[in-house]
Amino acid sequence: MVPTRRSLLSAFLTVPILHQLTIRKALAQSASLELTPACGDDDDLTLAREAGAFYKPNAPLRHELFNDAPAGESITLAGLVLDPDCQPIANSLVEIWHADETGKYDTSGFNLRGHQFTDENGRWWFSTIVPALYPGRTRHYHLRVQRPGGTVLTTQLFFPNEPRNEGDYLYSDDLLLEVSDSADGKFGRFDFVV
Which residues make up the interface to Fe ion (CB under 5 A)? 52
Taking CB atoms, the residue at the shortest distance from Fe ion is: 52
φ, ψ of residue 7 in degrees (nearest 5) = -70, -35
Cα(7)–Cα(156) distance, integer angstroms: 26
Which residue number, 55 or 117, has a Cβ lying nearer to Fe ion? 55
CB of 79 to Fe ion, least distance (A): 19
CB of 44 to Fe ion, least distance (A): 25
CB of 59 to Fe ion, least distance (A): 15
CB 188, CB 76: distance < 8 Å: yes
CB of 52 to Fe ion, least distance (A): 5
Q: How far is CA 18 from the centre of its chain?
A: 20
Which residue number, 52 or 150, has a Cβ lying nearer to Fe ion? 52
Which residue number, 92 or 156, has a Cβ lying nearer to Fe ion? 156
Which residue number, 28 or 48, has a Cβ lying nearer to Fe ion? 48
CB of 161 to Fe ion, least distance (A): 19
Which residue number, 9 or 94, has a Cβ lying nearer to Fe ion? 94
Which residues, at least 6 apart from 109, have a Cβ–Cβ distance to it below 8 Å? none
Q: How far is CA 7 from the centre of its chain?
A: 18
Q: Distance from first CA to last CA of the chain, Å, rounded?
A: 36
Q: b/e per residue, 51-83, with b = 16+ CB within 10 A?
A: eeeeeeeebeeebebbebbeebebbbbbbbbbb
